[in-house]
Amino acid sequence: MPMLDLYRAAGIFAHELPIRQVIDRLEKMNLAWVHPMHGGSFGQNGFPNYARALRENEFAYRGMLLGREIAKVAPM
């Protein structure tokens, strides 16, 4: 899933649960158009695939940013 790989590599989502909760709410709205990211839009017929990808795949931050491991913060 190139879209999800990009999300993970960029480190833009700390956790998957909040995103999946939003997907559940959006699904109930029966939207005509969805504009999820910068310039990416799709009609109502594309939403089921988008929602399924976000529900079934991992995309949250895993300690890597743009392919490089981020050092852990020292305890205070």
Q: Give 7-48 pLDDT, tens digit per residue.
A: 777 777 778 898 899 999 999 999 999 998 766 899 999 999
Which amino acid is located at 11 in the chain?
G
- Give a yes or no: residue 30 inside a domain: yes
Give the pLDDT confidence score for residue 15 in this predicted structure. 82
Distance between CA atoms of 53 and 56, rounded to whole angstroms? 5
| Structure token pair of residue 75 | 């305890």
The two tokens of residue 73 are 């913060």
Total tally of structural domains belonging to the chain: 1
**76 lies in some domain:** no
Q: What per-residue confidence (pLDDT) applies to 25?
A: 95
pTM: 0.67
The owner of tokens 């989502």 is: 13
Domain span at residue 24 reads 2-69
- Domain for residue 27, yes or no? yes
Please report whether residue 32 resides in a domain.
yes
Calculate the alpha carbon distances from 60 to 9, 44, 49, 74 in Å: 9, 25, 19, 22
What is the pLDDT, as a whole number, of residue 40? 83
